[in-house]
């Protein structure tokens, strides 16, 4: 019963077959290969507009390069204080931007509200030479607490920062899960809602190491080729990433994988609700289930070898603080999560 992370799954069979098929013969290097060219076209089709695409191998690189290309060293990036770029990227965003400040804000379920963003903007005076200048708002879709922003919520956040001219970045490490959950077109929750640059996650979705920086106004991408090269993410054998994305994007495989992961999480959340023994820390909206686990549940899970991550309680709603001994358990489902594993876990949780 491994629910630690979607990072721990391998790659889906169609992605592996696409990689094997790309292995034949010689191909241009450094992203000039045919697979990468075709994937650029697939992304343009997917987002229904011209886009600039830069393939990299980690989500941290995608996020850091997206920020670096649009934020100056004296700039500030507003995000949730538990956002991956703030809490889990070891200062890479600060490093690649040349020192821009990551400004963490509060919000239940790691979701940002416009009024919180507006309040923070008011504290950073435009043109004040003694202050960092806010230049980007970054949101995570689905969030680090497994919640999903609607197109309207994203548009409201962009409207909140528009008067100060901030760009809007979306950390889409689990973008596939959000699109599958919303049942919307990818464009609806990206550029049509005001997103300027997207880190499109392929790795958690079902690739081995495939992430794409999608820049919706190609004029915003002028620096990316050099920034990606300097970051060591312009792969000599670029077809390695191109083939993975071709395997993912071809015939909507990426969404099939995300739908399965989401369905497994929904199955688990529904089983927990039916048993009536435990409460969710946040709603299950994508491929993750966050449970408040009293000590007896932790003991039962350990005894059965269930693997999960004890998660931060920093984004719990007010008034729902943990009681002594309780932890928030994060249970992540992936394309590789089997229904039998979900039912075994649910059975353990029903006995606590
Ligand atoms: C929300 C989110 N963003 C970005 C990343 C970064 O991805 P990577 O670990 O590939 O650097 C992760 C990691 O899993 C993540 O959960
Ligand atoms: C670092 C850890 O949070 C990873 N991003 C995950 O979601 O599993």
- Indicate if ligand 2 lies below 6 Å from the C-beta of 88: yes
Q: What is the pLDDT of residues 21-46, one digit of tens each?
A: 999 999 999 999 999 999 999 999 99
CA of 235 to the centre of ligand 1 (A): 20
Ligand 2, pocket-test mutation among 84, 204, 329, most atoms within 8 A of CB: 84
**How far does CA 170 lie from the centroid of its chain?**
8
pTM, to two decimals: 0.98
CA of 256 from ligand 2 middle (Å) equals: 22
271's tokens: 């089983």
CATH classification (class only), 12-253: alpha beta
Q: How far is the CA of 60 from the centre of ligand 1 (A)?
A: 6
Range(s) of the chain covered by CATH 3.90.1150.10: 255-349
Give 229-238 pLDDT, tens digit per residue: 999 999 999 9
DSSP 142-199: S-TTS----HHHHHHHHHHHGGGT-EEEEEETTHHHHHHHHT--GGGGTGGGT--EEE
Flag whether the ipTM exceeds 0.90. Answer: yes
> What does the pLDDT read at residue 91?
98
Helix locations, the chain, DSSP H? 13-21, 34-47, 59-68, 84-87, 92-96, 114-123, 151-161, 175-182, 224-230, 239-249, 253-275, 295-303, 339-349
Atom in ligand 1 nearest the alpha carbon of residue 209:
10
Residue limits of CATH 3.40.640.10 in the chain: 12-253
Q: Which atom from ligand 2 is nearest to the alpha carbon of 5?
A: 8
Right CATH for 255-349 from 3.30.1780.10, 3.40.1350.10, 3.90.1150.10, 3.40.120.10: 3.90.1150.10
Tens of pLDDT, residues 161-176:
999 999 999 999 999 9
Asked if residue 58 has its Cβ within 6 Å of ligand 1, the reply is yes
Local structure of residue 307 (DSSP, 8 states): B
Could you read off the pLDDT of 112-170 as tens digits, one per residue? 999 999 999 999 999 999 999 999 999 999 999 999 999 999 999 999 999 999 999 99
Longest dimension (CA), the chain: 61
């Amino acid at each position: 019963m491994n629910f630690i992370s979607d990072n721990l799954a391998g790659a889906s069979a169609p992605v592996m077959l696409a990689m094997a098929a790309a292995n034949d013969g010689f191909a241009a290097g450094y992203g000039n290969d045919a697979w990468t060219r075709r994937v650029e076209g697939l992304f343009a089709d997917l987002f229904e507009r011209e886009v600039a695409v830069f393939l990299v191998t980690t989500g941290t690189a995608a996020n850091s390069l997206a920020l670096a290309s649009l934020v100056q060293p004296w700039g500030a990036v507003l995000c949730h204080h538990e956002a991956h770029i703030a809490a889990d990227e070891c200062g890479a965003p600060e490093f690649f931007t040349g020192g821009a400040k990551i400004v963490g804000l509060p919000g239940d379920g790691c979701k940002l509200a416009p009024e919180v963003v507006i309040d923070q903007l008011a504290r950073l005076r435009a043109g004040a030479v003694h202050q960092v200048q806010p230049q980007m708002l970054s949101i995570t879709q689905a969030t680090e607490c497994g919640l999903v922003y609607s197109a309207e919520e994203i548009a409201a956040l962009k409207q909140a920062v528009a008067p100060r001219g901030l760009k809007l970045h979306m950390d889409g490490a689990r973008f596939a899960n959000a699109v599958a959950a919303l049942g919307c077109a990818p464009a609806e929750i990206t550029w049509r809602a005001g997103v300027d640059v997207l880190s499109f996650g392929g790795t958690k979705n079902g690739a081995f190491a495939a992430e794409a920086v999608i820049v919706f106004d190609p004029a915003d991408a002028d620096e990316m080729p050099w920034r990606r090269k300097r970051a060591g993410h312009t792969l000599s054998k670029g077809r390695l990433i191109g083939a993975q994305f071709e395997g993912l994007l071809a015939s909507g495989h990426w969404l099939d994988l995300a739908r399965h992961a989401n369905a497994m999480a929904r199955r688990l959340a529904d089983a927990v609700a039916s048993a009536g023994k435990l409460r969710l820390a946040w709603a299950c909206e994508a491929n993750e289930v966050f449970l408040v686990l009293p000590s007896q549940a932790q003991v039962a899970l350990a005894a059965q070898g269930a693997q999960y991550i004890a998660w931060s309680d920093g984004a719990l709603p007010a008034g729902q603080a943990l009681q002594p001994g309780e932890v928030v358990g994060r249970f992540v489902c992936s394309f590789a999560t089997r229904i039998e594993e979900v039912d075994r876990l649910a059975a353990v949780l029903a006995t606590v």
